[in-house]
């Protein structure tokens, strides 16, 4: 089955700096890669996702890059703010194919702390 590794497990940055979180996946058939943000005691919420036919996607201060050959993808947050502090999870899934199973396989998470 799919295995997703996520690094680092904790990341501390100063407000205004950039933060990068990296994930690798094992199943070359995975084609959908969402990122979720989970604040303490709250539900995971999707912040950005990318399909395997796209190399990069941006949404304001957040961007995700995907390298299918190397089977890794990264989350980039620029101009970090204290409210960005949370646990971030990457995930991988197989969708839109004959072998779709839709379940998400998550990484172990990265605790991001943005210091004012």
Partner 1 sequence: DTGVSQNPRHKITKRGQNVTFRCDPISEHNRLYWYRQTLGQGPEFLTYFQNEAQLEKSRLLSDRFSAERPKGSFSTLEIQRTEQGDSAMYLCASSLGGTRRSYNEQFFGPGTRLTVL
Which positions lie near partner 1, rule CB under 8 A? 4, 6, 32, 34, 36, 42-46, 49, 51, 89, 91, 93, 95-96, 101-109
The DSSP output letter for 76 is E
At its nearest, how many Å lie between partner 1 and the CB of residue 69?
22
Shortest CB 103 distance to partner 1, Å: 4
Half-sphere exposure of 37 toward its Cβ, with a 13 Å CA cutoff? 13
Q: Report in angstroms how near the CB of residue 33 gets to partner 1 at its nearest.
A: 12
Cβ closest to partner 1, residue 14 vs residue 102? 102
What's the burial of 10, exposed, middle or buried (CB within 10 Å: 0-12/13-18/19+)? exposed
Exposed / middle / buried, residue 67 (Cβ in 10 Å: 0-12, 13-18, 19+): exposed
Q: Measured from the CB atom, is 65 or 78 closer to partner 1? A: 65
Q: Rounded to an integer, what distance in angstroms lies between the CA atom of residue 12 and that of residue 53?
A: 32
Comparing CB distances to partner 1, the nearer of 8 and 16 is: 8
């Amino acid at each position: 089955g799919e295995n997703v590794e996520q690094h680092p497990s904790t990341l501390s940055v100063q407000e205004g700096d950039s933060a990068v979180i990296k994930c690798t996946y094992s199943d070359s058939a995975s084609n959908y890669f969402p990122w979720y943000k989970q604040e303490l005691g709250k539900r995971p919420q999707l912040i950005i996702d990318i399909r395997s036919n796209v190399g990069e996607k941006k949404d304001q201060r957040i961007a995700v890059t995907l390298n299918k050959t190397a089977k890794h993808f990264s989350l980039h947050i620029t101009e970090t703010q204290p409210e960005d502090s949370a646990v971030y999870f990457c995930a991988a899934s197989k969708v839109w194919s004959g072998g779709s199973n839709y379940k998400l396989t998550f990484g172990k998470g990265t605790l991001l702390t943005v210091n004012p």
